[in-house]
A and B are shown apart, each in its own frame.
Chain A
């Protein structure tokens, strides 16, 4: 490795890491936490026994999932950031990114959570109901704790996917990791080196998450006999 290559690495890596700490990681964490809450609400509404006029609520949530799963994330970002100002709704790039990522990851994760809830045998509901629990108690005390275990691998998929999807925020003027790499590459004429460095940082972040997923899976499966 030539000394100039090494120099480029040592001078650009801090900038890339700073962008990760300032944008990529907070964008991912905030959007994922909000997205999970939205996903839980969406799954609960879609599984609810709402009757009569309240069915419209279920329809609204169905429509939300339908739209956000059926259009590209990049297009969603553009509509929220560049499109909505035409209707007089203007967001900062940061807010637009959080809103879009939250809605997007919420739509996908709601299906994961809905499937996980449905995967818990009906006998669990019946046993808890016959003990006098309300439906809400059964859901929160008996069903969801078991659904967490089932939904952990697919939710980790969404989480890791989101880490990488935040690079799309570069297209709405957010100077996150990818944009920083782009800028330095334009100055140094070293695209291979710079984009590889950016990729490496994504790889490290996602590796940490993968290891974390492993621990969480182990912990949430502690009541399941060892399977191979």
Chain B
């Protein structure tokens, strides 16, 4: 179980996270939505310690970290080994083949044998529909294909949690569909997922829990049905701005 308690992150004058209290249940999909600059990415990036909040508590299973104290390197590495991250801009390693992008961390972080890592990687690439691209370099792939490789790369670590930071925002609509299909399948297989997205249709389809952030504050967390069908005035305004038709 992943949980934040009274977490604050301050950039200069701005409160990027303001007393955030939230739990991310296992085997469920939590979707984080909110206007640009509301702290969605900061929240997600705090969960794998790419961002370091000023204070608050961080719980991961039996491990508790206090953000106001220095965090031992071994705890950071352990958390990152158990969580996977998919970025908006893919961030594949351009100098490695598609296959080696996927096997790199299993071999060098988990110390798997090359044979075992390669076999797992080939299965994963087949699952995301890219079995035939294993030997190509990432630059030879479309954006949507690159993002599916990035998902396979994250899955290869068998993470407890999967984080997605606006995974389709950099993609054209026709490429977006392929990536969303993969995400939906992962959610249906009861992976523990946390997704930041601007796609409300997708959010409604996939979320078990939804979080609405504004100016670093959680204004809503819980059941997606209530969020979309009985929104507060502020949420209604946000959904309309996203061109999402609220059906009461």
Contact = CB atoms under 8 A, between A and B. Distances in A.
Interface residues of A, number: 22
Q: Which of A127, A131, A145: most chain B Cβ within 10 A?
A: A131
Interface in B121-163: 137-140, 150, 153-154, 157
Nearest to A141: B108
Contact of B91 (A123, A145, A224): A123
Contact of A133 (B83, B85, B89, B108): B108
Interface string A93-127: 00000000000000000000000000001011011
A131 B89 CA distance: 16
B92 interface: yes
B80 A223 contact: no
A146 B95 contact: yes
Contacts of A131: 80-81, 84, 104-105, 109, 153-154, 157
A127 B140 CA distance: 19
Nearest to A131: B105
Contacts, number: 67
A223 B136 CA distance: 9
Given A132-B105, A223-B137, A224-B139, A127 B95 contact: no
B48 interface: yes
Contact of B50 (A124, A126, A145, A223): A126
A117 B139 CA distance: 20
Interface string B29-61: 000000000000000000010100000000000
Given A132-B80, A132-B157, A124 B93 contact: yes
B26 to A, nearest CB: 19
Given A123-B87, A123-B91, A133 B105 contact: yes
15 contacts: A126-B85, A127-B92, A128-B105, A131-B153, A132-B77, A132-B80, A132-B105, A132-B109, A132-B157, A133-B105, A133-B108, A142-B93, A146-B95, A149-B95, A225-B140
Interface of B: 48, 50, 73, 77, 80-81, 83-85, 87, 89, 91-96, 104-105, 108-110, 137-140, 150, 153-154, 157
